[in-house]
Amino acid sequence: MDPGLPKEPYRISDKNSFAYVSARDRWPVILTQAVDDVFKHGDSEDSNHRHEGSKIIRQIAQLKFELQHDRLIRPLEDDGGDDIKGYNEELEKLGNPKWFDAPWLFAECYLYRRLNTFFTNSKTWKTHDVFHVQKATAFRSSRAAVLELASRYRQLVSSLKNSEQPTGTKEATEEGEKKLFTDMCEICLWGNATDLSLLTSLTYADLQQLQGSRARKAASKYILDSQVDKVYELLKKQRDEGKVGRVDIVLDNSGFELFVDLIFGGYLLTAGFATEIVFHPKSLPWFVSDVLPGDFTDLINALRDPESDLKFLFSEWSELHTNGKFLLRPNRFWTTAASYWRLPSAAPRLFEDLKQSELVIFKGDLNYRKLTADAAWDPTTDFSEAIGELGKLGSGVRVLALRTCKADVVVGLSEGKDLALRSGDPEEGKRKWAWSGKWAVIQFWDGKL
């Protein structure tokens, strides 16, 4: 439970919310896909592996049955994880609800954590990522966008490293740099368009329509609130004053989105806006497509390619990783059900570490839901108010949210904007415009003031 939260969190019982649609329609599909994955990987000469695979399939089927028939959410079985106790205590505080009575954020996190216990409590499936094949396939389908960005990135890095003298006035040069920074932020933002947990019914052809420069340019008008100028001015000032430091990125999806996160991180280093980039992946398979440490390694290795631009990226990013400029720092807090309102109290060491960063970038929809405690805020609420402890003066953490909207919660909108966006929807009472990923926000709070 989030202390001092003035608004109720979204609940699955609200049939006008995306929470209800997710539990009813998306989660059963995701669990069925998990069964398919275990079945395909269960064909082994090891009888223990086959036997445990069959048991895991039965456990997933049982979980799906309980969800679809609105049974009580049962306590998690202990798999040795230090987060199990927290989940079960939270469940008790919530009054041991049925699935369709629970807060959406808790129930969704619980779903993936319980699924993970089926594997971690086995002997031969402990480290199996039930979503790995889906993630790898989706990244391969993004090849056209990958090649486009790789070519642009190589040209950009070469130009910055060679310190080419720009032409024109100082004002024109600064305006060009600001435009480039905005473009890079928006590339990083729209990488979130490939959230696999939402794309359960799209074809790969549909997926490719969400990527590429034309799509990004067309999508700019769908950014409802952008504070990218504030971030640029902050980082530029620090660079001019010789106070450049570390930038953290709390990752969301693997594959193409992780690729653009690395593009953005490499750009920040080369442009002199950061001294090192700390990436925060998840520590267990999470929300289908979220980044695990192994996904980072897989992506780097996937760039071992005769294509010159990809070969350049492999060399560039491998060197940054080796030299400690690209760092991975997983933490189990990211896979608890706690919102980030609880970060200072639930994960004090992580909170103190994030204070050492000059900017913490939270990617994607789930991070945004956790920042805002997934609560039913009025959409005109200030971003700083909605992020609780992190939004206080002197919190010590600079927060930048790059979020494409895929859930009901949204803040920082101008008066009347939500109503105008709802007006074209025949289903009164629903904020369906915020479910599709078509709209986005770039929101910032300087907690170091």
pLDDT tens-digit map of 355-369: 999 999 999 999 999
pLDDT (tens digit per residue) in 21-56: 999 999 999 999 999 999 999 988 889 999 999 999
Q: CA–CA distance from 156 to each of 106, 151, 372 (Å)?
A: 42, 9, 35
Burial of 43 (C-beta count, 10 Å sphere; 0-12/13-18/19+): exposed
Q: What percent of the chain clears pLDDT 70, i.e. is strictly above it?
A: 91
Stated length of the chain:
449
Least confident stretch, 101-110, 135-144, 325-334, 394-403: 135-144
CATH no., domain 18-130: 1.20.930.60
pLDDT band at 424 (very low <50, low <70, confident <90, very high): confident
Residue 322: which residues within 8 A CB-CB, separation 6 or more? none
Common-topology check for domains 18-130 and 133-446: no
CATH class of 133-446: alpha beta
Domain ranges in the chain are 18-130, 133-446
Structure tokens at 168: 């024109």
Predicted confidence (pLDDT) per residue in 377-396, tens digit: 999 999 999 999 999 999 99
DSSP bridge pairs for 276: 246
